[in-house]
Amino acid sequence: MNALSTPPIHRVGVVGSGIMGIGIAELCAKAGLDVTVAVSSTASLVEGPKRLARSLDRGVSKGKVTPELRDAAFGRVAFTRELTDLADRQFVVEAVKEHEPLKLELFAALDKIVEDPDAILASNTSSIPIVRLARATTRPHQVVGVHFFNPVPALPLVELIPSVLTDHQTTERAQEFVTSALGKTAVVSPDRAGFLVNALLFPYLLSAIRMVEAGVATAEVIDQGMVLGCSHPMGPLKLADLIGLDTTVSIAEAMYQEFREPLYAPPPMLLRMVEGGLLGRKSGQGFYTYE
């Protein structure tokens, strides 16, 4: 594959219609791209378009999106339950649950389905080493991590994570797509659990959880301290709720498995909360209660 000779990316596939999947689909659609979102259930076929519409409507209400752009973007996104409908895509990014066996199965399937010999297969994983996902395919040189941040339409950063098997042309083409087509700032991160940003962020989040667990301070006081004292836009406990406490556990466990450093180990309190279904914003309750 020659990055200079391959056609521009116009057809994008997204696997998953959760917060991240819909955010990526919205971003691509607002950039004028043709987007197909593959979902795993009939319920998601209904909820996915509703989630996209709500997000676009919020953009209109905040004055960041015109009604015309909202309608045009919504019309560029198709939803399907058939993974085979991604066969003609030039760039496919998965945004499914942070569960390695699931992602490995998905990449093996996409490898057989996506027909374009120059297509990029990307993962929005927060922590799983890209080389493991790449080896599930027959084209590991075209697999790259493309890690967006939540909320996708608003946050400007994307981490690009090439593995030791990713060729330079794939990385170059992905970077061009992310920066020129999607208008994001890209940083190239190492292919290690947690990459760059989460390797810095998660010890901080987990430390805050341990402080709550030890009774040092409440979640509200810790968050207030970091927002008012350190100018953070959001405190660590509220941020963990936003990320999802189950996702926080998955990322922490992946980093602990790789580095075996105690600062990455998920605290027992966090594990019990997830076992009890307290997942943060997505479930309505975590360190805070949400309506």
Region 93-105 average pLDDT = 94
Catalytic choice (26, 124, 147, 189): 147
Who's near 37: CB < 8 A, 6+ residues apart? 13, 14, 15, 16, 17, 21, 22, 25, 48, 77, 78, 79, 80
Whether 291 shows a pLDDT value over 90: the answer reads: no
**Shared domain check, 171 and 218:** no
Q: How many folded domains does the chain comprise? A: 2
3-12, 199-208, 213-222, 280-289: which has the minimum mean pLDDT?
3-12
**Shared domain check, 244 and 147:** no
Domain boundaries, position 273 = 199-283
Task: For residue 193, tell me if it sits in a domain.
Answer: no
Region 210-233 average pLDDT = 98
Task: For residue 139, tell me if it sits in a domain.
Answer: yes
Domain boundary among 133, 159, 188: 188
**Shared domain check, 88 and 155:** yes
Q: How far is CA 229 from CA 204, 210, 217, 237, 269, in A?
A: 15, 20, 15, 15, 26
CA 257/CA 279 separation, integer angstroms:
22
Residue-wise pLDDT for 20-44, tens only, equals: 999 999 999 999 999 999 999 999 9
Residue 32 has a CB neighbour count (10 Å cut-off) of: 12
Catalytic choice (44, 126, 163, 250): 126
- 185: exposed, middle or buried (C-beta count within 10 Å: 0-12, 13-18, 19+)? exposed
**Shared domain check, 254 and 178:** no
Residue-wise pLDDT for 131-165, tens only, equals: 999 999 999 999 999 999 988 999 999 999 999 99
Domain boundary among 188, 215, 246: 188
CA 139/CA 120 separation, integer angstroms:
9
CATH number, domain containing residue 154: 3.40.50.720
pLDDT band at 126 (very low <50, low <70, confident <90, very high): confident
**End-to-end Cα distance, the chain:** 49
Average pLDDT value over all residues in the chain: 95
**Shared domain check, 240 and 137:** no
**Shared domain check, 54 and 159:** yes
Residue-wise pLDDT for 195-214, tens only, equals: 999 999 999 999 999 999 99
Task: For residue 5, tell me if it sits in a domain.
Answer: no
- C-beta of residue 33 within 8 angstroms of C-beta of residue 11: yes
Is residue 2 part of the annotated active site? The answer reads no
**Shared domain check, 169 and 211:** no
Domain boundary among 142, 158, 188: 188
CA 95/CA 97 separation, integer angstroms:
7
- What pLDDT is stored for residue 5 in this prediction? 67
Task: For residue 22, tell me if it sits in a domain.
Answer: yes
Task: For residue 1, tell me if it sits in a domain.
Answer: no
**Shared domain check, 270 and 152:** no
**Shared domain check, 172 and 204:** no
Task: For residue 37, tell me if it sits in a domain.
Answer: yes
- C-alpha gyration radius of the chain: 19
Is residue 147 part of the annotated active site? The answer reads yes
Is residue 126 part of the annotated active site? The answer reads yes
Region 70-93 average pLDDT = 97
Task: For residue 290, tell me if it sits in a domain.
Answer: no
Catalytic choice (26, 94, 159, 189): 159
CATH number, domain containing residue 266: 1.10.1040.10
**Shared domain check, 267 and 151:** no
Helix, strand, or coil (residue 22): helix
**Shared domain check, 205 and 173:** no
Catalytic choice (55, 123, 198, 250): 198
**Shared domain check, 81 and 155:** yes
